[in-house]
Amino acid sequence: MAATEMRYLVVRVSNIDQRDVIDELTKVLASEGHVWFGKYGQPMSPVSRTEGERTRVVILQPRNASSSYLVKTFRFTAYSRHAPMDHAYPAYYSEVWSRIKTWLRLEDAPPAEQVAIGDLTVSSSGSALKESLRSSSRSHFVCELRPS
């Protein structure tokens, strides 16, 4: 991937907390100007500042029991393994601290930066993201836009 190309950190969330994760993040974002997303499970690798400037975070939230997803793209602004001090995160996180291993600070991405999962390929394999979502239980993927 060329240094100027955008990369997409696609995070698949579950319904374990029975919350509308995208809605919860969007509410905090609207009031605070940014939001900390707490990723459960295995810690993610740190993202350098240079990588962060060209990284967008795409949250995939399952729609009920179907295999389709609600999709929202955010701008990535910071990474941490420690809980944020500014409390700009959904209130329900206080009930699930032990699950959160990685914190991603996000800002709103304009409509022009929103992506569809059909437009992404997994960087490590070149496979279409849609195929990887069906065949893998991974919680996150590093992706790039499919070539035109």
Q: For the residues of 52-67, what is the DSSP string, one character each?
A: HHTEEEEEEEE-TTSS
Q: 32: alpha, beta or left, given left = phi > 0 and alpha = psi -120 to 50?
A: alpha
Query: For the chain, how many residues are written?
Result: 148
Q: What is the pLDDT of residue 1?
A: 44
What pLDDT shows up at residue 105? 94
pLDDT given for residue 79 in this prediction: 87
User: What's the confidence (pLDDT) of residue 125?
Assistant: 93
pLDDT tens per residue across all 148 residues of the chain: 444 588 999 999 888 888 899 999 999 999 999 999 999 988 887 765 556 667 899 998 887 666 788 999 999 999 899 999 999 999 999 999 999 999 999 999 999 999 999 999 999 999 999 999 999 988 889 999 987 6
Distance in angstroms (rounded) separating the CA atoms of residues 140 and 11: 4
Question: Which pLDDT belongs to residue 50?
Answer: 52
Q: How far apart are CA 6 and CA 59, in angstroms?
A: 16
CA distance 13 to 71: 11
pTM over 0.85: yes
| Residue-level pLDDT at 3 | 44
pLDDT at 41: 86
Which amino acid, 23?
Answer: D
pLDDT at 111: 94
